[in-house]
Amino acid sequence: VPKTFAPKDTEGEQLAGLKESLGDDVFGAIAKTTGLDKRPSSLSRDGANVAQQRRVKTFDIDATVVSNDEFKKFVRATKHETEAEKFRWSFVLEMLASNATINQSDSKHGLGRVQSSPHWLGVYGATWRKPEGPDSSIRGKGNYPVIQVSWNDAVAYCAWAGKRLPSELEWETAARGGLEDEPFPWGDRDD
């Protein structure tokens, strides 16, 4: 991976290129939801370190993520209470939340938004059973990926299932699908 994978975008070239490739309508919708247009250097502030060449030992990983139905079996068998259930709230992506949930979160009695990422709302009652807030449900979504599950919840699930979470290196290797020496998981094109 090139060492210039995520250079600083002091002139806003990455943002301009993204806007050009997506078109004004799509970029505008994304920018409005995420605030991307107000943070021109956000494309290079992803927390990535300088790229390194590393080897990974052979590992097993499930072909799919854990579904709501699979997580429900775990909860029924162990009586596990997720951290979102214990804390009685979690974060919800604004574009998934109902207007009522957004209004409640934004009210003076609500939890509000993450200041640096305002598209994330603090939502009372958001749990794996009600992933978009108290007025949502997983009914009819048994094969959807379970969400509102913390790292600790995932570790507990893995222990029950006789599995383990992948390391960051294993996860990135699996996500790349065997592709090597390219700056992006899909190859070398940035569009």
**Three-state DSSP string of the chain:** CCCCCCCCCCCCHHHHHHHHHHCHHHHHHHHHHHCHHHCCCCCCCCCCCCCCCCCCCCCCCCCCCCEHHHHHHHHHHHCCCCHHHHHCEEEEEHHHCCHHHHHHHHCCCCCCEECCEEEEEEEECCCCCCCCCCCCCCCCCCCCECCCCCHHHHHHHHHHHCCCCCCHHHHHHHHHCCCCCCCECCECCCC
List CB contacts of 34: < 8 A, sequence separation 6 or more.
117, 119
pLDDT the model gives residue 157? 98
- List strands edge to edge, sheet with 113-114: 89-93, 117-124, 113-114
pLDDT the model gives residue 128? 97
pLDDT the model gives residue 45? 46
**Best CA proximity match to 50, nearest among 108, 6, 86:** 6
Residue segments in the chain with a per-residue pLDDT below the cut of 50: 1-7, 39-45
Task: Give just the sign of the alpha carbon dihedral 9, 11, 16, 17.
Answer: negative
pLDDT the model gives residue 178? 76
> Does the pTM of the predicted model rise above 0.75?
no
pLDDT the model gives residue 29? 66
